[in-house]
Amino acid sequence: MLGTLIVQGIGKNSVMAIKVRSLIAIKKSPFQEIIVADVEEFGKALILDGYLQSTVADEFIYHESLVHPAMILHPNPKRVLIIGGGEGATLREVLKHNMVEEAVMVDIDKDVIELSKEYLPEMHQGSFFNKRSKVVIDDGKNFVEKEIKRGAQYDVVIMDLTDPYSSEIAKELYTKQFLEKISMILVEDGVFATQAGSRFFYREVYEDVANAAKNVFKYVAEYQVWIPSFGYSCNFIIGSKNFDTKILLNHENVDKVLRLRGVETRFINGKRIAAMLSMGIY
C-alpha cells in the first residue's frame, strides 16, 4: 500500500497500480495481511499480502473459467473438494451444478472467510450458507492427507490458491508430490483443476506446475484467460484420469451440459471454452 494506491507486482520487474477509493477492512491474520478495499474501476476487492485476488467487476471471469471446464468434464460431479477459495466465489460456481450433493471448501485462513462473509456478499452470494456446503478451516495439505487415511473420494478437486510464486503457504500444494495425493482422493474418473498464475511472467514456475500435472494425470489441458484486475492472462490447468478435454469440451457439448444442469454464467459458454483450449498458451 502506498498512500491511496495499491501497488501489486504482476511480474518480477513489473507492477500495476490501482487507486483506492476507500479501505473497508484490514486485518493481519496468522498467515497473511488481508485487505478489503473499494478500488477505482473494479469496485470491492480482496487483497492478500499485496496481491489482488478478486474484484467485484471481473471475479466472475476468473471463477467461471476455473470451475466450469472441470465440472463439465465430469459427467456426474456429486462430491467436490475446493482447496482455498476464501471469498466463496469458487464455491458459488460449483454449487450452480444441480447434481452436486456436497461441496467441501478447505481454507487455512478463517479470517479471510469471516471478512468475506461480512464484506463481500457480492462474491459469495450466500454460498457459505448453502445446505450442500461444508466449510473446513485447515491446511489443504493436512486435510488431503487425512482424507486419504479415511478413504474419502471426490469426483472433482479444484485448487483456488494464491499463485505458486506469491505465497509460501500455497507453494507445496503445486508440487507433483501433492498432486499425487490429490489423485488418491479422486474417484477413478475424477477431474482436477487449478489456477497456476502467469506463465508469461513466471514461465519456469508455471512449467513446474504443468509438468507436475502431466506426471500425475493421463489427460492434461492448459488454457488462459485475461483478467483485467490482475493485469495479465491467468493460466489454468485441468487434469483427468479418463476424460479427454478435446472430445468432451467442444462447444456444443459444453452448452448442452450447462443447460441440462441449470448453470447460468456471465462469461463462460461453449464457444469460449473451446476457444480457450484451442488457442494455446504463451
Secondary structure letter of residue 2 according to DSSP: B
Of 111, 155, 160, 163, which residue is the catalytic one? 160
Q: What letter represents residue 248's amino acid? A: L
Find out whether 251 is annotated in a ligand binding site: no
- 244 labelled binding-site residue: no
Q: Which residues are 265's β-sheet partners?
A: none
Q: For residue 165, how many other CB atoms are within 10 A of its CB?
A: 20
Would the annotation count 32 as a binding residue? yes
109 as an active site residue: the answer is no
In a 13 Å sphere around the CA of 135, the CA atoms on its Cβ side amount to 25
The Cα 15–Cα 62 span in angstroms is 20
140 is in an annotated binding site: yes
**Cell of residue 101, nine digits:** 450433493
Q: Give CA–CA dist 50/35, Å, rounded.
A: 8
26: part of which helix (H) or strand (E)? Answer: strand 15-28
Distances (CA, A) of 121 to 24, 37, 57, 86: 13, 14, 13, 12
For the record, the C-alpha cell of 272 comes out as 469460449
Residue 107 marked as a ligand binder = yes
63 carries a ligand binding annotation: yes
User: Could you tell me whether strands 15-28 and 79-84 are parallel, antiparallel, or unpaired per DSSP bridges?
Assistant: unpaired
CB 214 within 8 A of CB 233: no
Known binding residues for S-methyl-5'-thioadenosine are 32, 107, 139-140
Q: Which residues are catalytic?
A: 160
Known binding residues are 32, 63, 87, 107, 139-140
Known binding residues for spermidine are 63, 87
